Amino acid sequence: MKLLTKISILATSVALAACNGDDGQNGTDGKNGQSSFVLQTVVQPGHAVCANGGIQIDSGLDKDGNGKLDAGEITSTTHQCKPTKTSLSQSDLLTNANNNWYVQSAKSVEDAKQMALKANNERGGAKNVILFVGDGMGVSTVTAARIRDGQNKGMKGEENNLSFDKFPFAGLAKTYNVDAQTPDSAGTMTAMISGVKTDVGVLGVDEDIERGNCTTVSGNELVSAIELAEIAGLSTGVISTARITHATPAATYAKSADRNWEDISDMPDAAKTAGCKDIADQLVNFETNLEARYDGLDVDGLEVVMGGGRRHFLPKDAAANSPDARSDIEGDRTDGRNLVNEWKAKYPNGDYVFEDDGFRAINPETAERIFGLFNESHMQYEADRSNDVAGEPSLTDMTEKAIKLLDNNDKGYMLVVESGRIDHGHHAGNAYNALEDTIEFSEAIEKAVRMTNPEETLIIVTADHSHVFTIAGYPKRGNPILGKVVAIGKTEPEKAADDKPYTTLGYTNGRGFMDLGAETDADAGYDQDIHAGRADLTDVDTTTPGFHQEAAVPRSSETHAGEDVGIYAKGPSAQLVSGTNEQSIIFHVMEHAIDLINKAETKLKP
């Protein structure tokens, strides 16, 4: 707003008559006077002179007579500023304070302050530790699963929280292996469970190993947290929805020059001749192997082992098939050994189960131990679990039963739980299955939280690595996370520069677009041709279980990614999780919480 005041000065001439004299000559005409202007301009808050706003007053003469005050004609500038406040009143923050986002965030700060005051940093302050590993669960997977879970509940989705989102302490883990920028699960899980980063593809050994060379294992073995817990007299357990001999669970109990040596048929002759043992063999003989390493040690072995991978424990003989075998010959072992029977002989009071009915029949309050192998290979995706031949327990079911059994030990327990098929869903380029398994993972964690005492149980949730999985475009709030991008204020999908719609979720590389409809097994996509690049999705329902997202770079399988992953923690020593860390810190937080090394050393002393 401008206020303009104009003052005109008129020149006058005055003629003076001489007394008794002749009239004088007429004087010359006077010059017209110059106009004076005063210009008032409202200035907004944040102005250099008037921080709270006000009026700037400029004045000067209209020298060029153009009827306005130009910048060069201003001779004086003053300001009338609004007074500066010296304090905040309640009314000043009324808009903030009445906003739900403001209220929620303020409460979160207060809750965090209380958690910090109650935090237990005492060494050995925890009785139990549970490590949850979401295989391949990068930050984008957590975000997408959170939204998917919320939308499944009838929410817009973004405001939802997965169970571990609410944990009071969090940080990041750098996932690279010693020899690789983008890691694999063997090296990353070895770091988490032993405190030492190592190379790609090796289990329970340090970086001085030569992958695939059995003779380099000796002298380079690492001690895992599970082994320390076992020595200390705690109960121990390992659960996975992948094969129990797969990289992540195997790192808890095995020492191997190659993660692929899951059974003897996978090993080269040189390794067998040199005396290396396959991973399944090491699992069944975990107790014997551990006792052999330490003089006079007497342990009772793993109380809970559940997952997939039966084929690595059974001989290549149809007579050894399980009732729900999918293959004509289920077993892969070429040494004729039946490791299931060997386990039963070693633990006659233990319960071996291969299907859901047998699992549910076990009373964890009285059972000594459980060995569950629920599939020939990996267990089913959560969305596909109902299609299993004999039925499988869910990850939540296994977690609940494991805690009930392990909690029978007054000294405490250590449990590792892996959701292995999040990773496999991504490798197949199928976000639906990856997200559904992440949601089930969250449910298992919630079950563990409800079953345990936060004052005596440290729970850590993390991932071994991430995937090249993206959340992109500019979809409006509440847009179906599996859907095509629909912009704010729009009802129809946005189109890219090629005039085709595109989805919010996608992959940098992989097998690419597939429309398999209601198919709930992501691995069915491996029977299809690779179709990387763009496809016309106009008439495709991208929210179905069988839709596989587009990928830019064609590959037989989508790859891991190299960015940091989240670490979430609650319970004793949880506050030690903060900032950005080497992935190996997870071992040290767990060790501090239970005082594992001191307890194990005490047990080993004569």
- Please write the tens of the pLDDT for every residue from 264-283: 999 999 999 999 999 999 99
pLDDT at 36: 87
Q: Is residue 144 part of a domain?
A: yes
**pLDDT above 70: residue 120:** yes
Q: What is the pLDDT of residues 214-242, one digit of tens each?
A: 999 999 999 999 999 999 999 999 999 99
Q: How many CB atoms lie within 10 A of CB 582?
A: 15
Q: Is residue 93 part of a domain?
A: no
Q: Is 465 annotated as a binding residue?
A: yes
311, 397: one domain = yes
pLDDT at 25: 63
Structural domains of the chain, count: 2
Q: Is 427 annotated as a binding residue?
A: yes
Q: Is 246 annotated as a binding residue?
A: yes
DSSP 477-499: TT--TTSB---TT-SS--B-TTS
513, 417: one domain = no
pLDDT grade for 113, boundaries at 50, 70 and 90: confident
- Going by their DSSP bridges, the two strands 560-561 and 466-467 should be labelled as antiparallel
Q: Which of 103-112, 124-133, 483-492 has the lowest mean pLDDT?
A: 103-112
pLDDT at 5: 36
pLDDT at 23: 57
Q: Is residue 474 part of a domain?
A: no
464, 519: one domain = no
538, 595: one domain = no
Q: Is 498 annotated as a binding residue?
A: no
pLDDT at 6: 36
pLDDT at 478: 98
Q: Is 248 annotated as a binding residue?
A: yes
567, 543: one domain = no
**pLDDT above 60: residue 419:** yes
587, 499: one domain = no
416: CATH: 3.40.720.10
**Domain stop point among 558, 577, 592:** 558
488, 340: one domain = no
What element of type H or E holds 37? Answer: strand 36-43
pTM: 0.87
Mean per-residue pLDDT for 19-30?
Answer: 54
CB 509 within 8 A of CB 554: yes
Instruction: Report H helices in 153-268.
Output: 185-194, 225-231, 247-250
580, 542: one domain = no
Q: What is the pLDDT of residues 311-363, one digit of tens each?
A: 999 999 999 999 999 999 999 999 999 999 999 999 999 999 999 999 999 99
147, 185: one domain = yes
**pLDDT above 50: residue 400:** yes
Mean per-residue pLDDT for 25-44?
Answer: 75
Q: Is residue 87 part of a domain?
A: no
Q: Is 265 a catalytic residue?
A: no
Domain that holds residue 212: 120-468+559-604
165, 237: one domain = yes
pLDDT at 33: 64
491, 589: one domain = no
Mean per-residue pLDDT for 486-514?
Answer: 98
Provide the mean pLDDT of the chain. 93
348, 298: one domain = yes
Q: Which of 87-96, 97-106, 334-343 has the lowest mean pLDDT?
A: 87-96
Q: Is 592 annotated as a binding residue?
A: no
Mean per-residue pLDDT for 5-31?
Answer: 44
pLDDT at 219: 97
Q: Is residue 172 part of a domain?
A: yes
Selected catalytic residue, list 140, 163, 185, 466: 185
Q: Is residue 210 part of a domain?
A: yes
Q: What is the spatial distance between Cα 41 and Cα 360, in angstroms, rounded to a whole number?
A: 80
pLDDT grade for 90, boundaries at 50, 70 and 90: confident
Question: For 247, how many CA atoms within 13 A lie in the half-sphere containing its CB?
Answer: 29
pLDDT at 92: 78
Q: What is the pLDDT of residues 172-196, one digit of tens each?
A: 999 999 999 999 999 999 999 999 9
CB 131 within 8 A of CB 415: yes
Q: What is the pLDDT of residues 425-479, one digit of tens each?
A: 999 999 999 999 999 999 999 999 999 999 999 999 999 999 999 999 999 999 9
Q: Sheet holding 413-419: strands in order across?
A: 351-353, 370-373, 304-308, 235-243, 413-419, 128-134, 457-462, 565-570, 169-174, 580-582
Q: Is residue 222 part of a domain?
A: yes
**pLDDT above 80: residue 148:** yes
Q: Is residue 494 part of a domain?
A: yes
**pLDDT above 80: residue 31:** no
